[in-house]
Structure 1
Amino acid sequence: MTRRFALMIDPAAADVARSDFADTFTLVDAAAPALSVGELSTQRGDGVFESIGVIDGHAQEVVPHLERLAHSAQLCDLPLPNQAQWHQAIERAAAHCEQGEYVIKLILSRGVEHGPTPTAWVTAAPASDFSAVREQGIRVVTLDRGYDLDVAEKAPWLLLGAKTLSYAVNMAALREAHRRGADDAIFLSRDGFVLEAPTASLILRFGERFVTPAPNGGILHGTTQLSVYEHLTARGFAAEYAQVPASDLSRADAAWLVSSVRLAAPITAVDGVELPVDRALTAELNDYLLSPRD
């Protein structure tokens, strides 16, 4: 799998009344320069994005991703993306994906500094191979995010509920996890509640009950977590949102980090404490997540 695809979008030409947006797209060489040096997404991370998993040419959970892109844009005072225009761009990108797993990225930035319009583009590329991680699991450490659970309400300008291009803190957290001998991290609020991972949502199992941290306190509502919950609910399990104390991590019967491309990765240890792994359910979840989903 080596095929790559890039499509620039003209958001200023997104007439809501039209049904065909082909003339608002520009196909560009994915290996060639395409952005101005004044582009604020590269200078300041001033933009939002989404990563969509693609399985055998089928883009997964497109509507939830577009809804979250719009929510992030609203929080960042960016123009709301035209859903139909972006949907057509995703279809164009998915058509260039071959068999296997790919990832489509949607990016909407402030554009060139002092420029008249935002910059927007869609890319598609082969996804990394996460098959071993899905089967063998990951070790995680907890990291203090440095603020209380209610900070998003007190300081909305921190944009904690938006999926922004400002990912330096998330990447620093992953590097710190690696320094501590782990594969990933789970953020905790300063007042002792579980939040999320740098690039994934957390799901815990307690008996027949599944819990994920409630999407407040700056937690991004995960599209893959929503899909997993739909599957668990259909199976008759209780799938809940709650404020999760950090102490609950070590007493869970099983736990997973879930995301659009890595899918469901079972957690094997938290801060060096071994955690049970439900291998049968993990395989079931990943089989489900690898099936076509809209």
Structure 2
Amino acid sequence: MNTEEHLLLVVSAAGGEAGSSGGRLIDADPGQPHLSVLDVAATRGDGIFETISLGAGHPQAVELHLDRFERSARMLDLPAPDRALWRDAVLTIAARLAAHDEAWVKIVLTRGIEGHPDPTGWAYGTVSPAFRRERTEGIDVVLLDRGLRSDVAATSPWLLAGAKTLSYAINRAAAREAQRRGADDVVFVSSDGLLLEGPTATLVLRTGDRLRTPPDALGILPGTTQADLFTAAHLWGLEAVVEPLTPADLAEADAAWLVSSVRHAAPIRSVDGVARAIDAPLTAAMNGFLRARRS
């Protein structure tokens, strides 16, 4: 392992009451074991995480990610993260990876060892893989039924729809199903027929002069990359609209993307085997904007 491209910080006192202090960052060797076999991250997937893109050492959308980190902690009844401590962890790793045009850092908070009061936390950073093909040639997606109604966040909050948790078995199973169908990725559909999100990305459509995305109220993760793109929509002469969408809207859209923190904007070139057009100029503009962000 190239230790210059793989960095780990253990976050001591990773959670606590809002406004608490006294935590610290401890350098650790990412090639060595650190997690207890009794940690509920390993035994139950009981924890949260965020993955933050780094552009030449600059964390991108870091405050939006920390907002979402805190939101997920509340949803799981975890201790409130010490925001300043986690920001420091992100900035520390970002500075050490500043020589690379694209990198990322993942911050993780778990409930800790079963039966003990202290949470477990760490931040891991590394260089991003190349996503040139996905960003230029596009990706093939399939629509998969998520098996939940679009109002699940309101009717059944204990299902944690919209929280970014470590329980990723379903998302990974969906990705494998996409591969079995000859596709790259997935767009989930609610059982009552509304478009939701990808396993690790937010759906964005262009219909005429409107950029469109589904609302968070449908039980989907608030998209940090989507939020940044929507703030820039006016630069491309577009109106940003958040509204419920259906598979028919996807079929009729002029262009579509799955957008995420590390892959950025990946245009959708086919849905369930049906080819669709790619808006190459807008895709290039989106990815140029995302790579150039400095906060």
Is TM more than 0.5 here?
yes
Using the alignment, how far apart are the partners of 1:202 and 1:58 within structure 2? Answer: 25
Q: What pairs up with 1:8-157 in 2 under 5 angstroms?
A: 8-11=10-13, 16=19, 24-97=24-97, 98-157=99-158
Identity %: 45
Unpaired segments of 5 or more residues in structure 2?
none
In the alignment, residue 126 of structure 1 is paired with which amino acid? V
Q: How far is the alpha carbon of 1:267 from its aligned partner?
A: 0.3
Q: Is the 8 A contact 1:103 1:126 kept in 2?
A: yes
In the other structure, the counterpart of 2:181 is 180
In the other structure, the counterpart of 1:4 is 6
Using the alignment, how far apart are the partners of 2:267 and 2:171 within structure 1? Answer: 20
Using the alignment, how far apart are the partners of 1:224 and 1:293 within structure 2? Answer: 13
The alignment partner of 1:216 has SS state of helix
In the comparison of the two structures, how many residue pairs are matched? Answer: 291
In the other structure, the counterpart of 2:165 is 164
The alignment partner of 2:9 has SS state of strand
Q: How far is the alpha carbon of 1:12 from its aligned partner?
A: 6.0
Compared with structure 1, are the counterparts of its residues 34 and 204 closer, same or farther at alpha carbon in structure 2 (3 Å cutoff)? same
Using the alignment, how far apart are the partners of 2:215 and 2:263 within structure 1? Answer: 22
Using the alignment, how far apart are the partners of 1:17 and 1:78 within structure 2? Answer: 14
Using the alignment, how far apart are the partners of 2:181 and 2:235 within structure 1? Answer: 38
Q: How far is the alpha carbon of 1:233 from its aligned partner?
A: 3.0
Residues 4-13 or 139-148, more deviating: 4-13
Q: How far is the alpha carbon of 1:125 from its aligned partner?
A: 0.9
Using the alignment, how far apart are the partners of 1:155 and 1:180 within structure 2? Answer: 31
The alignment partner of 2:217 has SS state of coil
TM-score, normalising length: structure 1: 0.95
Q: Is the 8 A contact 1:14 1:24 kept in 2?
A: no
Q: Is the 8 A contact 1:49 1:165 kept in 2?
A: yes
Residues 93-102 or 144-153, more deviating: 93-102
The alignment partner of 1:290 has SS state of helix
CA-to-aligned-CA distance 1:134-155 (integer Å, 9 cap, x gap): 0110010000001111111110
Q: Is the 8 A contact 2:100 2:127 kept in 1?
A: no
Q: Is the 8 A contact 1:11 1:81 kept in 2?
A: no
Using the alignment, how far apart are the partners of 1:13 and 1:227 within structure 2? Answer: 27
The alignment partner of 1:153 has SS state of helix
Task: Say whether 1:268 aligns with 2:284.
Answer: no
In the other structure, the counterpart of 1:243 is 244
Q: How far is the alpha carbon of 1:217 from its aligned partner?
A: 1.9
Compared with structure 1, are the counterparts of its residues 70 and 17 closer, same or farther at alpha carbon in structure 2 (3 Å cutoff)? closer
Q: Is the 8 A contact 2:16 2:79 kept in 1?
A: no
In the other structure, the counterpart of 2:292 is 291
Residues 124-133 or 65-74, more deviating: 124-133
Task: Say whether 1:232 aligns with 2:233.
Answer: yes
CA-to-aligned-CA distance 1:182-228 (integer Å, 9 cap, x gap): 11010000111000000000000111111101111211010000011
Using the alignment, how far apart are the partners of 1:132 and 1:247 within structure 2? Answer: 27
- CA root-mean-square deviation: 1.5
Compared with structure 1, are the counterparts of its residues 185 and 13 closer, same or farther at alpha carbon in structure 2 (3 Å cutoff)? closer
TM-score, normalising length: structure 2: 0.95
Using the alignment, how far apart are the partners of 2:213 and 2:16 within structure 1? Answer: 37
